[in-house]
Structure 1
C-alpha cells in the first residue's frame, strides 16, 4: 500500500533509502518565494542521500527545521571572460569611444585568453552513459595550425540563421571565423541567410523613443486621461446623492453604449472633456475570441519565458501569454518589463498579462504593440507575490503578498466596483484588442464569490474571456482545485447569456491539469471551453501533445532529452546570448527548469494512470540510466545535465537550488 499522495510506482523500480528527503513546496510553480528557512551556506554539513526522487517518512524536528522551506536570498553573479572585449571590436568594428571605453580593445590578447570553444552536440552524441561532458576545443581544432579547413566547431545559431552578432565573444566562434594568417582573423557572415531569417525573428515592438517618453512622463495618453476625468465627474455627482461609502460602477448592460452617454444618462450632464478622442471602438466591434477547443499555456514565472513558450508551442500550445508584468513598471519604461512583450512568430495567439489597476498601461500597449498582441489579460488571481522577468528573479528579495496588498491581483475579488472600472477602462483604451480576466474562486476559504462576479464581466464590464482558477487565495496549493464550483460559475454565466440573448464568452478553468484524461474530463464535466495549463507544463511541457492527441504519452528519456536540447538552442538563440555570460545564464536557467521536470514520474513506471500533479514519488530508478538521471532531485545532477550541452561549469559559477531539499552541497 502506498501512503496518500504517493504515486503507485511499480515495486520493481523502487529504491530503498535510509532517510527521506524533503518534499518541495508547490507554491514555487507560479513564482512563490518561500519565507521559511535560510539559504544553504558553503560548508554546511548535510547528508548526501543522492536519492532519485523526493520521498515521504517520519522526520525528527531537527531534520524538519534543517530541510524545510526554500533557500532565501539566492544570489547569482555573472561569469565573464577574463578579458572583457569591447562589443564594437568583438563584432568586427572600431570603437568610437576608445579613450573613454572601459573595455579591452586588444583582439589578439583577448583571443589568447578566451576560453576554448564549446561544441553543441548532435542528438546521437548525448545518449551514452556515463554522461559525456561536451568537449572544448580551439577554434581551429589544432592550436598550432590555424587553418580554415580544420575548423571543427559549429555555431548552431549561425548555421541556421547566419546570426553572428556576438562576434569574437561567441563561445562557438569556430563556426563563423576565418584566419587569414597565423595572427589575423575575420568574421564570416552569410547575408543571404540573415535576410531570410530576419523575417522570422523575434518581435520587440517598443521603440527607444517611446521608452524615453515613458520614463520622462511625456507620453500622451488622451484616452486614459479622458476616462479618468469622466470617473471623477461621475464620482462628484454620485457623492451628492449617495453616502460616501457607496460607489457605483460606470457600466451598463448595453454593450454598445458610449461612456459619455452613460454619464449623461445618470447625471444629466455631459462629462466628456474637449480633448476626448473621437470614434471609439464599441464592444461589439472588438475582435471575438474563438478559443473553444484550444490549448492555453498560462503565464508562469521562473522558467516561463519566451524560449519556454516556444518549446510548449512545438508540443502543441495554441494560446500563449507572457509572464505577468506590473502596470506601473510598463508606464515607467522599464526595459525588463517591456521585454515580457516579446513574441516569437511561432506563437499563433499571444497575450500580455498585467497586474495593477492602471488603464494608461493598456493604452500604451495598444499604441506600441497593437499589431503584435492578440489580447491583454488582467490578473485578478495572483495570490502571493510580485512576478518578475526570468533574469530578475535571480537576485530579488522575497516580497510576500506585495501584489495583493497594493489592491491588485486577487484583492480585486472583494472590490467589484474597482474591478469593473478597471476592466471597462482597459477595454476602451485597448481599442479592438480584447481584454480578458483571470480570477480565483475568492479570497478566503468558504467565501467564494466568483459565481456572482463572472456573469457581470462580459455584459457589464466588457471582458472578452474569463479564466477561473479553482482555488481561493488562502488555499494556495494546499487543496485540490474545486471543479464543482467552476461548473457552478460556468452555469451562472451561461444562464445570463441565455436569458438576455448575449454573445457567448469563452471560459477557461484552471487547477491540477496534469494529463490528457484529466483535461478532457474537466472540460466535459464543467462545460468550460478549455483548461489553462500552468504548473503541469513546468513538470511536463509535452502535456499539450497529450491533450491534442487524447492520449497519455509514455515519453522516453531520449525524447525528453531532445526537448531539453531544443530548449538550449532557443535559449542561446533568442534570449541570453552566446558569449560567456550568456552561456552561463543559460546553464542556470536549465537547472531551474530541471528543478520542476525531475518531479515527473514516467507513466510506464506506474501501476495505474493517470499521474496526479500533487503526488510526490518515492525514490525510484528509471528504465535506463538516462531516465534515472532525469528523475534525480540532486541539484548536482542538474548541473551535470547542463554539462552535456555547455561544457564543464566554470569554477567561479555556482547554483543554489530554490528548495533546500535539493541543496545537497554547495555548487561550484
Structure 2
C-alpha cells in the first residue's frame, strides 16, 4: 500500500484520530503494541488561523509516531488551505481531512460529516488542499448522512478525482453516530469498484483479530483502522496482527499486566505535561475503559476516576493487583 512515497507492507493497522484520546501517551502505547500509522487528534482550521496555542500543540509529532498524519477539519476552504500549510510545517508523512466526524459541535458549522451533504464542496476543498501542500493528502469519511442517504461511492470517486492519496471509510452514517453495527458492505463496494484506484482503509467495529480477518476477506481493503476498541486496550493491534499471521488468539492480559500499562501511560502523561493533575485528568477516559467486566470493580473505578494525585492513583492500582492478582480481563463483550 502506498500513500504518496510512503510504502506500507502487508495489511497496515492505522490508529484512528480521536479527540482527547489520540494524544502523545496513547499513541505511544498503541505504537508499542503494533499500530503502524498514527494520527494526531483532529485540529480545527479556524483555531489554527487564530494561532490557538492548545490547537497547535495537538499537531506536535514525535519520533516514535512515524509514519504519522495530522488531521484537520473545517468548513471554509480558505481556512483549510491555511490549516494544511500550517500542518505541513510539522512535517507529517501526510495530511488527512476529516469529512466524517458526526458530533454536533463539528457539523453545526458545516464541517466533518456535514460535508457529505455537499459533495461538490467536499471535492473542491480536497482539491484545493492537495494543491496547497507538498505532502500527500488523504481523507476520512462515513457511508453517508443516514440510511436513505449513503453517497459514499460518489464521494470516493470525487475525492479520488480531487487528488487524495487514500481514503478511510467508517462503516456508519452520521445519524448512527457510534451506535449500531458498522456496515462494511458499502466499504467493500467502494474498494472493488473498477474506477477506484486509491487505497481504501476500512474502519468500524474491528474488535478482535477474528473480526479483522472476516472484514478483510469480505472487502479486500488495503488497510484496517481501529479507533474506539483501542481505548483501554492498546494491545488490540498486537492481537489483530497475531491472528492475521497465525490464526491464533492471544490470551487476554491479566489485571497485573494492565496495571503496568496504566502506570506507563500515566507516567508518559506526567513527563509530557509536567503537571500532575493535568496528566491524571487526561487518563480518566482510559481508566474507565482499561478494566471492563471485572467483578466488584465499581468502587475502585469510582476512586480511580476521582483521584487527582499520582500517589493516590498508584495506591488504587496496588489494591487492584492485590485483589485480582492474575485474573484475566474478558474483552468478549466487544463482540456482542
> Normalization by structure 2: what TM-score?
0.84
Structure 1 residues 448 and 595, CA gap change in structure 2 (3 angstroms)? same
Q: Match for 2:95 among 354, 376, 382?
A: 376
Q: Deviations over 1:577-634 (max 9, x none)?
A: 0xxxx112222222331112233x4xxxxxxxxxxxxxxxxxx53xxxxxx64x7684
Structure 1 residues 555 and 634, CA gap change in structure 2 (3 angstroms)? closer
Q: Match for 1:336 among 33, 51, 54?
A: 54
Cα distance between partner residues in 2 of 1:444 and 1:293: 30
The alpha-carbon deviation at position 358 of structure 1 amounts to 3.4
Structure 1 residues 443 and 296, CA gap change in structure 2 (3 angstroms)? same
Does structure 1 residue 290 correspond to structure 2 residue 43? no
Does structure 1 residue 434 correspond to structure 2 residue 136? yes
Alignment of 1:381-392 (within 5 A): 381-384=100-103
Alignment of 1:128-147 (within 5 A): none
Alignment of 1:116-515 (within 5 A): 287-291=4-8, 293-356=11-74, 357-363=76-82, 365-366=84-85, 369-370=88-89, 372-384=91-103, 401-431=104-134, 433-458=135-160, 460-492=161-193, 495-497=194-196, 504-515=197-208
Maintained 8 Å contact 2:182/2:205: yes
Q: Gaps spanning 5+ residues in structure 2: where?
A: 244-248, 317-336
Maintained 8 Å contact 1:465/1:505: yes
Structure 1 residues 535 and 632, CA gap change in structure 2 (3 angstroms)? farther
Maintained 8 Å contact 1:441/1:469: yes
Cα distance between partner residues in 1 of 2:302 and 2:268: 23
Q: Deviations over 1:407-443 (max 9, x none)?
A: 1111111211111110000001012x11111111000
SS at match of 2:68: strand
Maintained 8 Å contact 1:288/1:464: no
Q: Deviations over 1:521-563 (max 9, x none)?
A: 2111111112211100113111011122223342111211111
Maintained 8 Å contact 2:98/2:112: yes
Cα distance between partner residues in 2 of 1:318 and 1:468: 18
Cα distance between partner residues in 2 of 1:383 and 1:413: 11
Q: Which has the larger radius of gyration?
A: 1
Q: Which structure has more strand as a fraction of its residues?
A: 2
Cα distance between partner residues in 2 of 1:596 and 1:298: 17
RMSD: 2.4
Q: Which structure has more helix as a fraction of its residues?
A: 2
Maintained 8 Å contact 2:45/2:82: no
The alpha-carbon deviation at position 445 of structure 1 amounts to 1.6
SS at match of 2:142: strand
Higher RCO (Cα < 8 Å, 6 or more apart): 1
Structure 1 residues 373 and 635, CA gap change in structure 2 (3 angstroms)? same
Structure 1 residues 440 and 402, CA gap change in structure 2 (3 angstroms)? same
Cα distance between partner residues in 2 of 1:427 and 1:303: 27
Q: Match for 1:636 among 287, 290, 303?
A: 303
Cα distance between partner residues in 2 of 1:542 and 1:572: 22
Structure 1 residues 438 and 342, CA gap change in structure 2 (3 angstroms)? same
Cα distance between partner residues in 2 of 1:434 and 1:526: 25
Cα distance between partner residues in 2 of 1:560 and 1:428: 45
Does structure 1 residue 562 correspond to structure 2 residue 281? no
The alpha-carbon deviation at position 639 of structure 1 amounts to 4.5
Task: Report how many residues are paired.
Answer: 306
The alpha-carbon deviation at position 646 of structure 1 amounts to 5.5
The alpha-carbon deviation at position 289 of structure 1 amounts to 4.2
2:324 corresponds to:
none
Q: Deviations over 1:84-132 (max 9, x none)?
A: xxxxxxxxxxxxxxxxxxxxxxxxxxxxxxxxxxxxxxxxxxxxxxxxx
Maintained 8 Å contact 1:327/1:358: no
SS at match of 1:378: strand
1:589 corresponds to:
282
Cα distance between partner residues in 2 of 1:573 and 1:637: 20
Cα distance between partner residues in 2 of 1:323 and 1:408: 16
Structure 1 residues 639 and 402, CA gap change in structure 2 (3 angstroms)? closer
Maintained 8 Å contact 1:359/1:429: no
Q: Gaps spanning 5+ residues in structure 1: where?
A: 1-285, 385-400, 498-503, 602-619, 622-627, 649-668
Cα distance between partner residues in 2 of 1:287 and 1:370: 18
SS at match of 2:29: helix
Shifted more, 369-378 versus 422-431: the winner is: 369-378
Cα distance between partner residues in 2 of 1:595 and 1:529: 32
The alpha-carbon deviation at position 365 of structure 1 amounts to 4.3
1:605 corresponds to:
none
Cα distance between partner residues in 1 of 2:49 and 2:174: 27
Cα distance between partner residues in 1 of 2:22 and 2:83: 24
